[in-house]
Structure 1
Amino acid sequence: MYLLAFKIFLRNKATYWSIALLLVTGIASIHIGKKFVEKQTHMIEKTAQIQKDHIKKHVGFFNKEMGLLMYYLRFSVVNQPPMLSAIAIGQRDINPAVTGVTIRNLNEQIYDTDLNNPSSLLLGNLDLNFVFIYLFPLIIIVFCYNIVSEEREKGIWGLTKIQSKSVMQVIWMQFSIRMLVIYGVAILLIAFAAIYLPLPVNKPLVASIILLFAYLLFWFAIAFLIVSFGKTSNYNTITLLTVWITLNIIGPAFLNLWVTNKYNMPEALETVIHQREGYHEKWDIEKQVTMNKFYAHYPQFKAYVLPKKEFSWLWYYAMQQMGDDDAQQSADQMLQKTIKREQFTQRASLFMPSLYAQLQLNEFAQSDLNNHLHYLQSVKKYHEKLRLDFYPLIFGEKPVNSINWNAFEMKRFTETSSIGLTQTVLPLLLYTFLFGILGLFFMKKTLFKL
């Protein structure tokens, strides 16, 4: 009987078209993700050579003054994308993978982004994450909306009840057939991605697969709950689509509006203004005032006395430093609000399983906001290290040729994310269990009326 029901389900044209849609969009999304990662990887590889050529060229041009040379020299920090980010691009398409910094003021450099078409960014990239989060639930709705209700509407439900030992067993059989097809397509896409990309078999990949399977099970639990009400196919369709729209569109949109208003960030503009004013106004004030603030920031450089000549690199880089210092408070406030936004979104996503699954997958793929914030902190630390390394050379007027410039290579940022698998999957399993229990309760009440 199970094999017969399986064949009948597969003969439905809607089943064929649904499977084809998932396979085509899934394969296309994997290919798009691969091209995206390859593009970023190629850009990073080129950056390594460009930095070497850049240093060599400028050392040849500006070999008289260390201060003048360091005005131009740019050092790169890259955020290497893991291959898993090909299936969950997340925020990597809007945040730069390469940041080049000089030892001048940091705040005007660290927030530079790549030039992109804003229309393309608005649409976003099609990745496998999107296919699983948004398209798979729609197909589950297509597969499950007419379980029981279709047979009732055709007038054959009574015959089904007579021929079967247990009505509940028939319903479970119908759901299990659909689950088998959905999970089969999911496994095919994941296997294709693992081979085509390829994906290393590691904890983030395993965690992503388990999370995706739990997410699909959550949607089957929702479908089971709606079907258990014993309503018509039209009612089931409208209700399931309403749930899908609420969880995937209305809920996240409302959350975004709430977070934007709750944690508005005027500090972004203030940081730019304070940084620019903090630097430019130093040209018009007493030099010693600037130097006193600089010595307060870096007491280890008090031994370098300001020359009496009109211009000195000690004074110039002190002005640059003051631009960062004056903007530091606004920059810190902006960072703290960004962190609060992310934390609030993470907590709120517990009530929106679709958003929760998406955020978790981005975290596993290191394409989330936290990864970018950690990357920016790495850039800041590297920038500070460059300053501490080169300030003594500039202030001491060391010869340019006394430095081994070949030692300055591109810096790579890497992050190892800690994954608590049980804690990550638990919210989805709790929702699945809750809806499953409610579905059983309503199903048992409904079965006596059907």
Structure 2
Amino acid sequence: MSLFSFELKLFWANRLNKWLLLTYLVAGVIAIGLTETKIERELEQYQFAQAHYQDDIEHYREQYDKDQLLPGYMGYFLFHPVSQTPHAWSAIFRGERDESANHLRVRLLGLQGQVNASATGNVDAQRFGQFDLSFLWLYLMPLLIAAMSINVLADEKNTGRWPMLVAQVPKGTRLIFRKMAVPALMVLIVNVLLLVIATVLTSITLDSNWFGVLAQIMLYQLCWWLICGWIVFLNKEASFNYLSFISIWLVFTFVVPGLAYLYQIQQQDAGKDAAIVFEQRQYMNDSWDKDKKADFAAYLAMFPQWKPTAPLGDEFDWRWYYGQQQMSDVVVADLVNQRNQTQLASYQRGQAFSWLSPVMSLQYGFNRLANADMLAKIDFKQQIEQYHQKIRDFFWSIYFPDKTFEEADFDRIPTFNYTSNIGSGLWQSLLKLLVMSAVFAMLMWRQLRRFHEH
């Protein structure tokens, strides 16, 4: 029997190791099931909203058949559903999807007031987070690795077997490495198994991203294994080893991310969304008391494509109303752009901090892959703006030339089609994990030399 097989047999003889791995596996399967259920619930909500939208369209078709259709009122009361369709990888990586609204209904009024005044999702989910596979890998996997390998040397010394083992094995450090390699291999097997289960149970496919996720997991696990190896070869007592590892784990898991979050918050202008909503509503409220003909002329001067239109009369006119709604978006455009730039800068600062924490590095990589980060939030709002402009152009082409709304126009109403732009955050995440692994590999190598000298 080879020495590795012997160590593997000893590992399985420990009942605690079996229970730890089994609990880890079961927790992973539960996390996959819970997240997939969440995604299915979202998709059901999207389908419900779409079905409700079609019912509204059918209602207006009936009004058209009865010659009772008023296009101006239809533009005001018809809500168009928009949704950030979940990416395949969001079935196991929730990311920041619950921190902002991923489903809205918009109409022909000022868009920014609708987008920025919307609910941000489940408040309880934001408070406690989501138990998904990334949570298991980011926070629990390091603890599992440490629980099974952090005291391999201290335990041998406490039992008095170390002098005998060193006498029988040419290099005692090889024995320690074998003892540490066995639990690391078992954890890796379970992680691969969880990834395969996720592929079977969800819409994830076996492609380059799949192998990219596997590479990130392997590098992340290697980083924590090297941290354990460095602590092991400090040659201290078991209590010191546990305290050292927990301290490092807390720094990488809470301290660095917490400092990054506080720094990002300080750099942001709090209340920007509320300011956008306030400015837009204030503009619309003031518009009712102004010279409507002068305001309409100013609108046409800014958007000359609608200029071939009849002058305003003394009665209420939908053209003026919708024109002012669009102008309310124009007056807050700078605030919206500043908010987007602030959020983008905040994301970039977080990326900079992630060089100091393997937890943040892997989290940013997972969130980008799942299209569930700040970039996805900004992109979703920009796609809503583009879609809202298409709706305006469609209805304006009827309102301003005073055309008759035809039955065929119902089928021409634009619909929202979300495009998932996941980009390429894989290599950046791999590079960060590789650099941090190299740092702890050098620390372990230096400590290993000192260990041999003693």
- C-alpha distance in structure 2 between counterparts of 1:163 and 1:80, whole Å: 61
Corresponding residue for residue 281 of structure 2: 276
CA distance in 1: counterparts of 2:241 and 2:250, whole angstroms: 14
Between the aligned partners of 2:361 and 2:200, the Cα distance in structure 1 is 27
Match of 2:441 in 1: 436
State the aligned residue count: 449
Q: Which amino acid aligns with 1:35?
A: T
The Cα offsets for residues 42-90 of structure 1, whole Å up to 9 and x where unpaired, read as 2222333222111221343474432121111222222211221111011
Check conservation: 1:90, 1:368, Cα contact below 8 A.
Answer: yes
- Letter of the structure 2 residue corresponding to residue 328 of structure 1: A
Report what 2:9 is aligned to. 7
Q: Deviations over 1:200-232 (max 9, x none)?
A: 112322212211111111110111111121111
* Counterpart position of 1:255: 260
Between 56-65 and 434-443, the greater mean CA deviation after superposition: 56-65
Of 22, 25, 31, the match for 1:23: 25
Question: Retained in 1: the 8 A contact 2:116–2:277?
Answer: no
Matches within 5 A, 1:82-161: 82-114=87-119, 116-161=121-166
Are 1:425 and 2:438 counterparts?
A: no
* Alpha-carbon distance, 1:121 to partner: 2.6
What is the CA–CA distance in structure 1 between the aligned matches of 2:282 and 2:158, rounded to whole Å? 74
* Structure 1 residue 403 displacement after superposition: 4.1
Unaligned runs of 5+ in 2: none
Summarize deviations over 1:265-313 as a string: whole Å, max 9, x none. Answer: 3422221111001111000011133113312321111222332222111
Q: Which residue, out of 388, 398, 410, partners 1:405?
A: 410
Q: Aligned partners of 1:355, 1:238: CA distance in 2, in Å?
A: 22
**RMSD of the alignment, in Å?**
1.8
1:59–1:400 contact (8 Å) kept in structure 2 = no
1:358 shift after superposition: 0.7
Q: Which moved more, 1:287-296 or 1:271-280?
A: 287-296
Post-superposition CA distance 1:289-343 (Å, at most 9, x none): 3113312321111222332222111111122122212222212211111111111
Rounded to whole Å, the distance in 1 between the matches of 2:186 and 2:46 is 40
CA distance in 2, matches of 1:213, 1:254: 27
The answer on whether the counterparts of 1:278 and 1:324 sit within 8 Å (CA) in structure 2 is no
TM-score, scaled to structure 1? 0.95
Which stretch has the larger CA shift, 312-321 or 273-282? 312-321
Q: Is the 8 A contact 2:368 2:423 kept in 1?
A: no
Distance 2:160 2:238 in 1: 14
SS of structure 2 residue aligned to 1:415: coil
Amino acid at match of 1:148: L
Residues 95 and 38 of structure 1: CA distance in aligned 2, closer, same or farther (over 3 Å): same
2-side partners of 1:118 and 1:204: how far apart? 31
Q: 1:66 aligns with which of 67, 71, 78?
A: 71
Shift of 1:421: 4.3
Q: 1:423: how far off?
A: 3.7
Q: Please name the residue that 1:201 is paired with.
A: 206
Structure 2 residue aligned with 1:191: 196
Q: Which amino acid aligns with 1:440?
A: W
Q: Percent of aligned pairs with the same residue? A: 23
* Alignment-mate amino acid for residue 19 of structure 1: L
| Letter in structure 1 aligned against 2:44 | H
Query: Structure 1 residue 234: deviation in Å?
Result: 0.8
CA spacing shift, 1:403–1:293, aligned 2, 3 Å: farther
Shift of 1:130: 0.4
SS of 1:76's equivalent in the other structure is: strand
- Contact kept? 2:230, 2:444, Cα under 8 Å: yes
Greater relative contact order: 1 or 2 (C-alpha under 8 angstroms, separation 6 or more)? 1
Output the CA distance in 2 between the equivalents of 1:317 and 1:69.
12
3-state SS, counterpart of residue 100 of structure 1: strand
Distance 1:114 1:28, change over 3 A: farther
Q: Is the 8 A contact 2:98 2:122 kept in 1?
A: no
Q: CA deviation at 1:364?
A: 0.7
Distance 2:407 2:7 in 1: 81
Which of 25, 49, 52 is the matching residue for 1:50? Answer: 52
Q: Distance in 2 between matches of 1:421 and 1:250?
A: 24
